[in-house]
Amino acid sequence: MTSTTLTPTKPRLGLPSSLRTVLVIAFVLLSVIPVALALTVAILRTSEQSRAQVEAQMNSVLQLKIAALDSDLSNAHTMLRTIRSNPGASASMLGLLEMSDNPSLQASTIEHLGGFLNVEGTQFTEYFVYDVNGNIVGSTSDTQIGKIVRGQPYFTPSLSDDYIQPPYYEVGSNSLAVVMSVPLKDAQGNTLGVLAGRLNMDALAALMSERVGLGETGETYLVSLENSYLVTPSRFEGYPLNRSYRSLAIDEALAGHGGSGEYVNYRGREVIGAYQWLPDLQVGLVAEYERSEALAASQQATLISTAVAVLAAGAAMITGLFIAVQITKPITELTQITQQFAAGDLTVRAKAGGQNEVGALSSAFNQMAAQLQESLTSLEKSVQEARTATAMAREANRLKSEFLSTMSHELRTPLNAIIGFAEIILNGMAGPISEKQQHKIARIHLNSKRLLDLINDLLDLAKIEAGRVDLVAQPFSPRDLAMGVRAQMESLAEQRGLGFDVHVDPKLPTAMVGDVSRIEQVAKNLLSNAFKFTKEGRVEMALHANGGNTWEIIVVDSGIGIPPHALEYIFDEFRQVDGTSQRAYGGSGLGLSITRNLTRMMGGEVRVASTVGEGSTFTVVLPVTLPETAEMAVA
Amino acid sequence: MRRNIFALLIVIILMLAGCTAPAAPQVEITPVRLQLAWVPTIEYSPFYVAEANGLFAQEGLDVEFINGGFDENFAPIDQVARVVNGDADFGMATADRLLAARADGAPIVAIGALYQRTPIAFISLAEHGITKPQDFVGQDVFVDDVAGSSGLSYVAMMTNLGIDRSQINEIPRDDYSNEALLSGRVTVMSAFVNNQPVQLVEQGYEVNTILVSDYGVDIYANVIFTTEEMIANNPDLVERFLRASVAGIEAAISDPEKAAEITVAQSDELNLESETLSMLQALPLFNPAGTQVGMMNDSAWSLTADMMIEQGLLPADVDVQSAYTLEFLNLVYGE
């Protein structure tokens, strides 16, 4: 088990990897998007409805004002007709028109007219009577008497019929005047003069300024066709009557149209308004309401619903977050537990979850953890046992080697004495000996030598196995090495009657670093081995450069060969191909084992290829260490 | 393919030809001199506005305004003589001045009028309670020379009303400021409704204003005139000048504040606030209800002539009709 399998995988590009993040985002989107959509639709609908409502309201106001204005003007004309039909007034006026210089008729006329001026609800500020030449013969305002109205716009039409003079700008005043009139006729139907009334513009203004349901900014006003002056004052300061005012409503109304809509009014404010051209009075009537105030209520409603929606979305988000935490918390904990477990703490267990999927996962994990812990505990126990056994075996082996090493030394001492004395006797230094004796002594000498070799090999192996061999690295010439080995082994080849060649690869470095005596020992071991198992033919040794950072000592013989099954163990101690071979070929059977051990110590390896009856090829592969490399390594 | 390219070439050539061929007819700019009756004042605002708005230029005219009033030797400038002598192409005068000049042999003809109503009024401080001409009886009244519009209007108004002038202490006018009125030397004096009353009200006085036009006296205060020769030889120029002038009146009354601003720029003597008020008061003079701007009518001319005949200022057999022409106004109004 490795700990990496449980570490969280890297997030994929662009997508949130954390389940919690995904859940939170999902909750936010699910809560906010529908709310935002619903809210937008609601606001748009509310806004449009309110706008339409205000527009409808303005239209109603407009119609109310038109009705009121019509009624007022109609009442005003009725008033003039009432005066005309009043017997006293009529007699005075007609008499005065016939005798304009008559002071009593003038006084009587003024008295009658004055009486009607004091009638409650009159729309006039002045009544006056003029003759067919436009001379004012009587008036409730005495400064008017003697004036001539012939040049006034109403003069001509007033002579023939009831007339209303649309607002006109009087010279010397700052306001517009409206004059209404009825002709005064004699019994024959001839017009003798005109009874006229000057309309009370303040009353007209009051009519317009009754702002029922028009809030702080709503207003209704009349605009004259003449230069588009205001006929009735603006509700706001700074807008005198005698200025030209423009707006969509004013332009449209004065062009003879009626309608309603949203526009920028004469004060530069955005308004919702309605307008109508009034042909009788030749004026435009406008009712309008500043958009901001008109829609303030719906804007407030919008604000409240927005706030509620934001709160709801916030609550949904918090709930979502809470749920996400609820879902992901046990998973995160389980992950942490798993990580701890993976890190080696096998005792940790997940908290028991609820009845849900995560709970099931937790208990499944715990089950798995328990099993794993059990398996691992027993496995560890076995490993421990194996380790102990290995250690014991190693120690035993080491003791054996030590024992061998010591024993070999102890054995060599008496053996050297035997060899020494045998040589002394054979050399005749101990006195003359018979030929028979010499032959026997020679046998002793030869066998003692073999025994010594055996012991030496044994000692070597033991030393290696006991770890008492130290390699001494020093520069050497592979060529000198080859020549040295040849010189030492040539006599053996002659003795055995075998051909013997040594080749040195010219590509080999001239100098290398290594334990030259051990390398020589390896070469000699392989050669002794080759000579030993070769009855006829030849033995060759080649030092070969591999081209890489290894070189090879190759020993080829034409000996008996090694059967395939034996290739596996020929390097083991005390092994020769079979039990018989030891007796037939002699030798300790330790040479190859020593060779392999030494080669391994030098960082190399031994390979063998062989065909039974044809011969064997042993190859020792060693690393190339050049003197510079060695120096550098030292440096 | 080859035919297509050929066709395309033809189209391109035609297009290029179309671009260059009908060059706009070269508008010849005619220099025109207008002799005003007085120094720059709000009554001339239509001309200044027409100039500022490029209305004269639209008619191919480059108008030079020549101020009236007094010359460098403080001698009064005779605007009729200057036009007759060819020092100006058009001039401004009152209707009575024009009729008198014609009676003296000046070959001049009125072609239009700026004010439709006379601005002439009689003013008094409100404290005297003078609200109608009858109230002049027993008062000290500053009276202008009857050879001028104000004097003639006074005499005509009193005559119309049958007021006995011997009951009035008439003092010949020798001061054109408001000083005599304010000092109490006179209680009544003539004025222009959009001038002195406005000033006095601005200064905090309560003023009663009696308009002569309310009493059947209405003399055109500023008619545009030219010579018979000009009308005969260059009627097109006359029409163009009048057309631009009428458009100037329309433009001035449709934006009185702007008109006042443009007028004030003509002179160092003028004050924007006063001229704006004056312009607003002039609006019903320029364009009273039921009138067309720039227009003249026969009855106004004959009433003026009648007043003058009555005062012996004109011979009884004067040919009033030849003193003015509606020909060009009718052309301007497309009649």
Interval B162-212: pLDDT, tens: 899 999 999 999 888 899 999 999 999 999 998 899 889 889 999 999 999
Q: Do B284 and A227 touch (CB under 8 A)?
A: no
In which band, very low, low, confident or very high, does the pLDDT at B27 lie, cut at 50, 70 and 90? low
* Nearest chain B Cα distance for residue A282, angstroms: 12
Q: Do B193 and A172 touch (CB under 8 A)?
A: yes
Judged by CB atoms within 8 Å, which residues 230-269 of B form the interface with A?
253-257
How confident is the model at residue A11, as a pLDDT? 45
Interval B38-48: pLDDT, tens: 889 999 999 99
Q: Which residue of B has its CA nearest to A171?
A: B284
Q: Do B280 and A242 touch (CB under 8 A)?
A: yes
How confident is the model at residue A631, as a pLDDT? 54
- Residues contacting residue A39 through CB under 8 Å, at least 6 positions apart: A305, A306, A309
How confident is the model at residue A310, as a pLDDT? 82
Q: Do A147 and B284 touch (CB under 8 A)?
A: no
| Burial (CB count within 10 angstroms: exposed 0-12, middle 13-18, buried 19+), residue A86 | middle
- SS3 for chain B is CHHHHHHHHHHHHHHHHHHHCCCCCCCCCEEEEEECCCCCCHHHHHHHHHHHCCHHHHCCEEEEEECCCECCCCCECCHHHHHHCCCCCEEEECHHHHHHHHHCCCCEEEEEECCCCCCEEEEEEHHHCCCCHHHHCCCEEEECCCCCHHHHHHHHHHHHHCCCHHHCEEEECCCCCCHHHHHCCCCEEEEECCCHHHHHHHCCCCEEEEEHHHHCCCCCCCEEEEEHHHHHHCHHHHHHHHHHHHHHHHHHHHCHHHHHHHHHCCCCCCCHHHHHHHHHHHHHHHCCCCCCCCCCCHHHHHHHHHHHHHCCCCCCCCCHHHHECCHHHHHHCCC
Q: What is the C-alpha R_g of chain B? A: 24
> Over 70: is that where the pLDDT of B11 sits?
no
How confident is the model at residue B235, as a pLDDT? 95
> Over 90: is that where the pLDDT of B88 sits?
yes
In which band, very low, low, confident or very high, does the pLDDT at B54 lie, cut at 50, 70 and 90? very high
Looking at the complex, does the CB of residue B214 fall below 8 Å from at least one CB of chain A?
A: yes
* Nearest chain A Cα distance for residue B277, angstroms: 10
In DSSP terms, A550 is beta-bridged to A623
| Interface predicted TM-score (ipTM) | 0.78
Q: Do A151 and B216 touch (CB under 8 A)?
A: yes
Contacts of A143 in chain B (CB under 8 A): 131-132
How confident is the model at residue A211, as a pLDDT? 66
Cα first-last separation, chain B: 59
- One-letter identity of residue A598: L
Q: Which residue of A has its CA nearest to B158?
A: A146
> Over 70: is that where the pLDDT of B335 sits?
no
**A152: helix, coil or strand?**
coil
What is the arrangement of strands in the sheet containing A538-545, beginning at the earlier edge strand? A499-504, A538-545, A550-557, A615-623, A605-611
Q: Which of A145, A170, A171, A179 to mutate to test the interface with B (most CBs of B within 10 A)?
A: A171
How confident is the model at residue A131, as a pLDDT? 92
Pairwise CA distance, residues A442 & A445, whole Å = 5
Question: Is A314 or B80 the better-scoring residue by pLDDT?
Answer: B80
Tokens coding A149: 């109205």
Q: What is the reported pTM?
A: 0.59
* Nearest chain B Cα distance for residue A281, angstroms: 13
* Nearest chain B Cα distance for residue A225, angstroms: 10
Looking at the complex, does the CB of residue B306 fall below 8 Å from at least one CB of chain A?
A: no
- Across B120-148, average pLDDT: 92
Contacts of B284 in chain A (CB under 8 A): 168-171
| Burial (CB count within 10 angstroms: exposed 0-12, middle 13-18, buried 19+), residue A211 | middle
How confident is the model at residue B106, as a pLDDT? 93
Local mean pLDDT, 10-residue blocks, chain A (635 residues): 44 58 77 79 79 87 90 90 91 89 88 86 89 91 86 89 89 82 91 93 86 78 85 89 87 92 92 92 91 80 81 81 79 83 81 75 84 87 91 83 74 84 85 85 84 78 75 88 87 85 88 88 87 86 86 90 80 58 56 86 88 89 79 49
Q: Do B193 and A134 touch (CB under 8 A)?
A: no
Q: Which of B136, B190, B214, B218 to mutate to test the interface with A (most CBs of A within 10 A)?
A: B214
Residue whose C-alpha is closest to residue B112's, from B34, B39, B41? B34
Residue whose C-alpha is closest to residue A284's, from A223, A234, A242? A223
* Nearest chain B Cα distance for residue A312, angstroms: 57
Residue whose C-alpha is closest to residue B279's, from B251, B260, B258, B292? B260
Stretch (H or E) spanning A182: strand A176-185
Q: Which of B273, B283, B291, B307 to mutate to test the interface with A (most CBs of A within 10 A)?
A: B283
How confident is the model at residue B227, as a pLDDT? 96
